[in-house]
C-alpha cells in the first residue's frame, strides 16, 4: 500500500506543477482540498450513515494536525518550490525519513537501531545519486527556497506525530475527514482574506483543468492520505516515512516515460540503494 501511495504522490507532483501554470497557487491548494473533503465526506457517510461525533479535545488535536499538515505545509511547500531548484527540493524531500526518525525518537522514545540508521543513510545516498546525476542538476541549492521546503517537511512530519497519537482513538478515515475539513476551511479563509485569492481565471477552468484537479483531489490527496494515516497508525511514523525515498525515484521514472528524459547507470545504482535501504529500515515489519 505504501508503494502504491508513493507512485500516486510522485505523479501528483507533476499534476500540481501543471495546475500551477493554470491557477494561482492558493487556488491550486484550495481546489484540491475541496475535492478531497467532498470525497472523504461521501466515504464517511456511506460507511457510518452520519458525520463523526468528536469531543473538544479530539477536535483540538485534529485542528492542530490540520494546521501543520494541510494549511502551513501547503503554503510553505508551494512558496518554496517557486524559488528553489527542483534538484535541491527533491534532495530535501529525501530527508523526510531522517526527520521522522528523529521526531519519533524524541516524542515516542522509539529506539533507533544501527541497522535502521544504515538503511536511512543508504536510502538517502541512493536518492542523492539519482538527483545529482540528473540532467540539469547543477546549482542544486540556491538558498531561501530550500529552507522553506525544509520547513514544510518539518511541519508535515510534526503533523504526522499528531496523527500517530490520534490514531489510538480514531480510525484513519475519520482522521482524514476531520483534517481536511479543518484544512480546507483554513485555506478558503486565507484565499478570501488575502490578495492571493483575488483572481480565479475562468478561462483556465476547462475540462483538462478539472481532470487534473480531480486526479489530485481524489487520488493524490483524499484516498492516498487516508492510506497514509492508516500506515502511520499501523507500522509507526518512522517506518512509514522510509518510503519517501521512492518519491524522487518514481518522479524521475515518470519524467523518463512521459517527458523523454534520459536515464543513466547512476539511476540504476541509486534504485538499488533505495531498495536495500528501505528493506533494512523496515526489516522488523516483516518479521
Average pLDDT across each block of 10 residues of the chain; the chain has 287 residues. List them in order: 91 79 78 92 95 93 93 82 62 75 77 75 76 58 71 89 90 94 90 64 70 92 93 86 82 71 73 76 54
What is the pLDDT, as a whole number, of residue 82?
66
Q: Sign (positive/negative) of CA torsion 35, 180, 222, 275?
A: positive
Q: What is the CA 67 to chain-centroid distance, rounded?
A: 14
Q: What is the CA 234 to chain-centroid distance, rounded?
A: 18
What is the pLDDT, as a whole number, of residue 239?
82
1, 14, 66, 184, 205 from 215: Cα distances, Å? 18, 11, 21, 17, 15
Phi and psi at 194, nearest 5°, equal -125, 170
User: What is the reported pTM?
Assistant: 0.78
What is the pLDDT, as a whole number, of residue 196?
54
28, 111, 118, 157, 254 from 114: Cα distances, Å? 41, 10, 6, 22, 33
- Using CB atoms within 10 A of its CB, is residue 64 exposed (0-12), middle (13-18) or buried (19+)? middle
Instruction: Give the range of the structural domain holding residue 250, as residue numbers without chain letter.
Output: 2-286
What is the pLDDT, as a whole number, of residue 139?
53
For the segment 10-59, what is each residue's pLDDT rounded down to a tens digit?
A: 888 778 777 877 777 777 888 888 999 999 999 999 999 999 999 999 99
Residue partners of 246: CB distance under 8 A and separation at least 6: 3, 6, 7, 10, 274, 278
DSSP three-state, residue 109: coil
What is the pLDDT, as a whole number, of residue 63?
95
Residue partners of 45: CB distance under 8 A and separation at least 6: 51
What is the pLDDT, as a whole number, of residue 76?
85
Residue identified by cell 523523454 is 260
Q: How far, in Å, CA of 22 to CA of 74, rounded? A: 17
| C-alpha closest to that of 69 among 189, 146, 184, 212 | 184
What is the pLDDT, as a whole number, of residue 17?
72
At residue 5's C-alpha, the angle toward residues 235 and 233, to 5°, is 25
Q: How far, in Å, CA of 105 to CA of 95, rounded? A: 16
CB-based contact 172:47 (threshold 8 Å): no
What is the pLDDT, as a whole number, of residue 282?
65
108, 136, 207, 278 from 6: Cα distances, Å? 25, 24, 26, 13
Q: Find the length of the chain.
A: 287
85, 112, 120, 153 from 137: Cα distances, Å? 8, 33, 23, 21
What is the pLDDT, as a whole number, of residue 204?
56
Domain count across the chain: 1
Amino acid at each position: 500500500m505504501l508503494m502504491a501511495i508513493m507512485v500516486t504522490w510522485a505523479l501528483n507532483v507533476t499534476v500540481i506543477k501543471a495546475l500551477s501554470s493554470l491557477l494561482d497557487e492558493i487556488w491550486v491548494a484550495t481546489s484540491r482540498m475541496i475535492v478531497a473533503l467532498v470525497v472523504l465526506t461521501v466515504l464517511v457517510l456511506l460507511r457510518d450513515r452520519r458525520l463523526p461525533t468528536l469531543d473538544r479535545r479530539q477536535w483540538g488535536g485534529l485542528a492542530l494536525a490540520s494546521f501543520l499538515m494541510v494549511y502551513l505545509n501547503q503554503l510553505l511547500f508551494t512558496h518554496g518550490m517557486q524559488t528553489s531548484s527542483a534538484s535541491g527540493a527533491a534532495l530535501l524531500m529525501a530527508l523526510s525519513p531522517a526527520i521522522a526518525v528523529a521526531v519519533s525518537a524524541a516524542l515516542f522514545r522509539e529506539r533507533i537501531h544501527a541497522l535502521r540508521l544504515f538503511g536511512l543513510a543508504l536510502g538517502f545516498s541512493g536518492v542523492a545519486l539519482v538527483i545529482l546525476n540528473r540532467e540539469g542538476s547543477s546549482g542544486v541549492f540556491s538558498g531561501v527556497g530550500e529552507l522553506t521546503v525544509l520547513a514544510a517537511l518539518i511541519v508535515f512530519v510534526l503533523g504526522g506525530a499528531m496523527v500517530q497519537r490520534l490514531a489510538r482513538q480514531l480510525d484513519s478515515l475519520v482522521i482524514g475527514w476531520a483534517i481536511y475539513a479543518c484544512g480546507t476551511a483554513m485555506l478558503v479563509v486565507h484565499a478570501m482574506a488575502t490578495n492571493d485569492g483575488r483572481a480565479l481565471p475562468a478561462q483556465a477552468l476547462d475540462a483538462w483543468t478539472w481532470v487534473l484537479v480531480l486526479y489530485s483531489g481524489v487520488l493524490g490527496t483524499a484516498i492516498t492520505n487516508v492510506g497514509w494515516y492508516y500506515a502511520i497508525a499501523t507500522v509507526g511514523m518512522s517506518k512509514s516515512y522510509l518510503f519517501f525515498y521512492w518519491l524522487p525515484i518514481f518522479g524521475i521514472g515518470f519524467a523518463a516515460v512521459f517527458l523523454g528524459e534520459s536515464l543513466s547507470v547512476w539511476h540504476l545504482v541509486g534504485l538499488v540503494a533505495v531498495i536495500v535501504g528501505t528493506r533494512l529500515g523496515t526489516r522488523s515489519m516483516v518479521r
